[in-house]
Amino acid sequence: MISPGWMFIGAIVGLLVVAVFRPPPRKIPTLPTPDNTEPFFTKSGCVKFKAKEEECTPTATSLASKV
């Protein structure tokens, strides 16, 4: 049978391995939706969008390329 001392040491080693090898969280850039009226944080500051319906043009520029 495994002694409680070895179980404790194994748990501590497991926590140490997880703490050392866990990758850092990545920030994934997202674009606000028309329903979202909260401030949007960018590299240059905070912005807030108001939804306004517009006609589409053949030379429309994607907002995703601006981020």
Q: Compute the Cα dihedral for 8, 13, 16, 22 and give only its sign.
A: negative
List, for residues 18-59, the tens digit of each pLDDT value.
Answer: 888 888 888 776 677 777 777 877 777 887 777 777 787 777
Cα–Cα distance between 9 and 13 in angstroms, integer?
A: 6
Q: Count other Cβ atoms within 10 Å, centred on residue 40.
A: 15
Q: Tell me the domain boundaries of the chain.
A: 27-52
Contact 41, 31 (CB under 8 A): no
Model pTM? Answer: 0.37
| Confidence at residue 54, expressed as pLDDT on a 0 to 100 scale | 77
